[in-house]
């Protein structure tokens, strides 16, 4: 009996150390982190339009689009599709995405579409696309916005993050679209 009380007391004290004091200490440090550890947001004209790290849905034709999402960019229910590589339904879905993409971008060859634009992300909230994925949309966006293709292309190129030593090349879709809105 004495033993049981010892262990209960020991458990509660360690809970206080690891699950109360330690998180509070980190929480205190968080007050000095970007946006006090509440997640970095991006504002346009003083209004929050999104979280910098979290992808959002773009399906209007005057914006650059992000990757397919298994959860339709629901930022309170992240998930991937979990479809297996040989699943026939899944392969048909990818084929459909390719076909749709070609209808909206009639100027494209099939072989110009990078795989990230037709395959769903792991989180369903991927904020990035590959540089190729952005560049192939330039013509459509420029036409919709009545801007010169060169101007839009220069904008995309300025938004490409190329790794210096390690990593992948990315384009943050939200940041690109905000810059696009500012383009006159």
Partner 1 sequence: MNTELFGVISIFIISIVLAIPIGKYIAKVYLGDKTLFDPIFNPIEKFIFKISGINSTEEMNWKQHLKALLSVNMAWFFLCFFVLLFQGSLFLNPDNNPNMTPDLAFNTAISFVVNCNLQHFSGETGLSYLSQMVLMFLQFVSAAVGMAAAAIVFNAMKERTTDKLGNFYNYFIKSCTRILLPLSAIVAVALLFSGTPMTFEEKDTITTLQGDSVQVSRGPAAVFIAIKHIGTNGGGFFGANSAHPLENPTYFTNAVELWAQLIIPFAMIFALGFYLKKRKLSYIIFGVMTIGFLLLVIPTVITELNGNPAIEKMGIAQTTGAMEGKEVRFGPAISGFWSIATTVISTGSVNSMHDSSMPMSGAMQLLAMMVNAFYGGCGVGWLNFYIFIILAVFISGLMVGRTPEFVGKKIEAREVKIAAFIAILHPLLILSGTALASYFAANDTAMGYWFNGNATDWLNNPGNHGFSEMLYEFTSSAANNGSGFEGLGDNNPFWNITTGIVLLLGRFLPIIGPLAIAGLLANKKYIPESAGTLKTDTPIFGVMVFAVIAIIAALSFFPALALGPLAEYFTLK
Residues 145-164 that bind partner 1 (CB under 8 A): 163
- Shortest CB 150 distance to partner 1, Å: 23
Q: Among candidates 107, 14, 113, 8, which has minimal Cα distance to 65?
A: 113
What string of DSSP letters covers 18-35?
Answer: IIIIHHHHHHHHHTTSGG
Among 73, 138, 152, 155, binds partner 1 (CB under 8 A): 73
Among 106, 166, 182, 184, binds partner 1 (CB under 8 A): 166
Decide if residue 103 touches partner 1 (CB under 8 A): no
- Shortest CB 77 distance to partner 1, Å: 6
Site pattern 40..69 for partner 1 (x: CB under 8 A): xx--x--xxxxxxxxxxxxxx--x---x--
Longest dimension (CA), the chain: 81
Decide if residue 137 touches partner 1 (CB under 8 A): no
Instruction: Please answer whether residues 152 and 138 qualify as being in contact, where contact means their C-beta atoms are separated by less than 8 angstroms.
Output: yes
Specify the DSSP element, H or E, that contains 2: helix 2-15
């Amino acid at each position: 009996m004495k033993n049981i009380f010892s262990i209960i007391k020991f458990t509660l004290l360690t809970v206080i150390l690891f699950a109360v004091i330690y998180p509070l200490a980190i929480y205190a440090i968080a007050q000095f982190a970007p946006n006090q550890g509440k997640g970095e947001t991006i504002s346009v004209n003083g209004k929050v339009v999104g979280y910098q790290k979290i992808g959002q849905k773009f399906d209007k034709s005057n914006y650059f689009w992000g990757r397919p999402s298994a959860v339709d960019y629901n930022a309170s229910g992240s998930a991937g599709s979990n479809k297996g590589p040989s699943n026939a339904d899944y392969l048909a879905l990818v084929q459909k995405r390719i076909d749709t993409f070609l209808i909206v971008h009639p100027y494209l060859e099939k072989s110009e579409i990078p795989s990230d634009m037709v395959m769903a992300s792991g989180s369903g909230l991927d904020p990035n696309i590959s540089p190729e994925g952005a560049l192939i949309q330039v013509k459509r966006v420029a036409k919709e916005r009545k801007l010169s293709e060169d101007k839009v292309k220069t904008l995309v190129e300025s938004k490409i993050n190329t790794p210096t030593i390690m990593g992948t090349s990315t384009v943050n879709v939200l940041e690109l679209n905000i810059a696009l809105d500012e383009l006159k």
